Each structure stands twice: as C-alpha cells, then as structure tokens.
C-alpha cells in the first residue's frame, strides 16, 4: 500500500519538502496566469520562450523523479541519457499544444511529489548522480527542484520577482552560486555584500581575502537576481575596474 503522507520523518527534510512544494505551487500560479497565446512570449532567458521554460520545468521533474526511483530501488536511472538528449527534449516540449504543455507540468510535478512521499527514511541517504556528474544523497533532489521552480517562476517574466522567493531559499542559492565561483576561481577580487533587513542578516560572500576588491552590494533578492544573471536592479558596485557600473556576474552553471 502506498503512503498517504511523507514517509520521511526528519524535521529538516520535511521543511525542505514543504519549500519545494510551495515553489511548485508558485510556479503553477504564475503559469496559470498566462493565456495560451502568452506562452509564445519571451522570458528572462535568452533564446527561450515561456514554452521552453515550462517544458524544461516539466521534464526536470521527471528527471529528478528518476533519481528518487534510483534511491528507492538501487537501479541506476540517470536524469538524462546525455546533455544533447536533454536539450532535444526541451525543444520538443516547446512545440506541444498549450494543454499538453500544461499537463506536462502538472503531471510531472505530481509524479515527483509522490516519489518523494513514498521514499522511506532509510533511502534518503542513498547516493545518486546528477546530470553534472555530482554524487549526492537523495535528499539533494529536494533542493535541486526547489531552486528550479522558484527561479524559473521569475523567468516566466509575468510579474514574479526575486522578492517573492523565500529568504532561506535565496541565501542557500547564493551560497551555491558563490561556492561554484570559488571552486572555479572566478570570484577572484570580487566581494558580494548583502545588506540585511527583516529576517535577513548582513552577509558577505566571494573573495574575502582580496585587499582591494570590486564590491557588489544590495539586498538579498537583488544580489541573487544579479548573481543568477537575471539583472542588476537595486545593486551597486564600487572598487577597481567597476567605474561604478555593476559588472556581469561570473557564470555559475
């Protein structure tokens, strides 16, 4: 008999699952606000229409569900056969009829949620491999999905902003991004300062050892918007080479 509630009992994991599902609901709301004709419109991602974003988010849920199945069964089921197959899948999805595209999102989201629901406690620590080749415990699939749905809801470009994303998600995302920069050495001489506010402390990321860094400053939503390459609204820059103009953020994916 399948579970009627999440089998996971760890409080932190339960909270993470709730955040992922809230993000899914937020994406669904922004998608449902769009007419079928508006699905052909542009997004914050160059070269992608809203159709591409919806297809990507739908197929991403299926891909992550495969990782959860891997954790449950021990049978290796990669997210995608190859990067090329992933791209072809998105391009194909973008050609679907509006109702089929909406159904892809809805059905894949439910499928993933059920796979999470039915995964026993003992299986959450089982390791799987992401499309980037990282070996991670199954718990990581929840965060992988969380950042996809929240950020891509903004990418639909129909009213959502980084201010709508919970601060806990933004802070973790910024930690991921700046960690990737550090691992590649692309943050050399770059310091990021987050000005705190309600429920958010002042934070510092980037090259904290630099003696005369270029400094990008802003609120947490504004800094994450900049760090993800989605814009430079409400961030400021000073220091060597900036000319008081906010530099482009290093690539993080």
Query: pLDDT, tens digit, for every residue of 73-97?
Result: 999 999 999 999 999 999 999 999 9
12-39: b (≥16 Cβ within 10 Å) or e: ebeebbebbbebbebbbebbeebeeeeb
% of the chain beyond a pLDDT of 70? 95
Decide yes or no: CATH 1.20.120.450 for domain 11-160: yes
Q: Cα angle at 252 between 41 and 48, to 5 degrees?
A: 15
CB of 56 within 8 A of CB of 64?
no
pLDDT attached to residue 240: 64
Alpha-carbon distance values, 131 to 79, 128, 182 (Å): 6, 10, 21
Q: Which residues of the chain have pLDDT under 50?
A: 1
Decide yes or no: CATH 3.30.1050.20 for domain 167-238: yes
What gap in Å lies between CA 74 and CA 68, rounded to an integer? 10
pLDDT attached to residue 62: 98
Please tell me the chain's helix, strand, coil percentages from 3-state DSSP, rounded to the nearest 5.
50, 10, 40
What gap in Å lies between CA 19 and CA 12, rounded to an integer? 11
Q: List Cβ neighbours of 139 (8 Å cut-off, separation of 6 or more).
A: 13, 16, 124, 125
CB of 149 within 8 A of CB of 24?
yes
What is the pTM (predicted TM-score) of this model?
A: 0.93
Alpha-carbon distance values, 205 to 8, 179, 211 (Å): 33, 9, 15
pLDDT attached to residue 1: 45
Q: Where do the structural domains in the chain lie, given as residue ranges?
A: 11-160, 167-238
pLDDT attached to residue 248: 85
């Amino acid at each position: 008999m399948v579970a009627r509630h999440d089998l996971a009992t760890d409080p932190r994991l339960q909270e993470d699952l709730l955040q992922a599902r809230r993000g899914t609901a937020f994406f669904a709301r922004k998608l449902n606000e769009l007419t079928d004709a508006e699905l052909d419109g542009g997004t914050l991602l160059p070269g992608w229409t809203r159709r591409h974003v919806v297809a990507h988010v739908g197929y991403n849920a299926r891909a992550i569900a495969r990782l959860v199945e891997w954790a449950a069964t021990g049978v290796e089921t990669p997210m995608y056969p190859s990067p090329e197959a992933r791209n072809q899948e998105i391009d194909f999805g973008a050609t679907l009829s509006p109702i089929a595209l909406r159904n892809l999102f809805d059905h894949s989201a439910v499928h993933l949620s059920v796979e999470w629901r039915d995964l026993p406690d003992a299986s959450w620590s089982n390791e799987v491999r992401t499309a980037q080749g990282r070996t991670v415990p199954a718990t990581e699939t929840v965060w992988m999905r969380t950042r996809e749905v929240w950020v891509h809801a903004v990418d639909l470009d129909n009213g959502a902003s980084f201010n709508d994303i919970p601060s806990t998600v933004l802070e973790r995302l910024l930690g991921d991004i700046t960690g990737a920069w550090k691992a590649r050495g692309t943050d050399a001489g770059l310091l990021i300062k987050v000005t705190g506010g309600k429920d958010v402390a002042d934070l510092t990321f980037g090259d904290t050892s630099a003696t005369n860094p270029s400094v990008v400053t802003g609120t947490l939503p504004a800094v994450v918007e900049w760090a993800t390459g989605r814009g430079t609204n409400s961030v400021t820059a000073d220091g060597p080479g900036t000319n008081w103009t906010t530099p482009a953020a290093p690539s993080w994916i």
